[in-house]
């Protein structure tokens, strides 16, 4: 039950952050690192919430992993980033990543999809689809 409440609160907080950023100043990008993608920190510009994929456009979304717990400095991690042929231009499907309580080593900051999947396959991370979708391009950090 506690995990379910944590999941709901996390999704709500992320949704408010994305929508709040987009509506507060939709024209101003943030060029400081806000998302890791392919091992690089990227800036961003939140623009809008999106409806859920309809079965015909599922492939147009990349996954973005938002950590519910983890190391200090952990940013969301994208499935792909600009320059990667799999990058879809900043259309995101939010995935909530949670480190297991019994990870046999120190939790580190993850910066790539490959690192997220490595720890997921070892059972160190659980991943839940938050069923939250938004548009937010990744921009070079300045």
Q: Where are the domains of the chain?
A: 2-140
1: pLDDT strictly greater than 70: no
80: pLDDT strictly greater than 50: yes
Cβ burial of 117 (10 Å; 0-12, 13-18, 19+) is: middle
List, for residues 37-79, the tens digit of each pLDDT value. Answer: 999 999 988 789 999 999 999 999 999 999 999 899 999 999 9
83: pLDDT strictly greater than 50: yes
């Amino acid at each position: 039950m506690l995990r379910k409440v944590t999941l709901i609160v996390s999704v709500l907080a992320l949704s408010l952050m994305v929508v709040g950023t987009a509506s507060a100043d939709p024209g101003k990008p943030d060029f400081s690192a806000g998302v890791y993608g392919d091992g690089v920190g990227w800036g961003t510009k939140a623009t809008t919430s999106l409806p859920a994929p309809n079965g015909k456009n599922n492939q147009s979304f990349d996954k973005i992993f938002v950590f519910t717990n983890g190391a200090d400095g952990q940013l969301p991690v994208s499935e792909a980033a600009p320059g990667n042929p799999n990058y879809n231009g900043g259309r995101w499907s939010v995935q909530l990543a949670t480190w297991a309580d019994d990870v046999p080593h120190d939790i580190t900051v993850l910066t790539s999809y490959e690192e997220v999947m490595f720890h997921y396959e070892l059972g160190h991370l659980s991943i839940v689809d938050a069923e939250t979708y938004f548009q937010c391009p990744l921009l070079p950090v300045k």
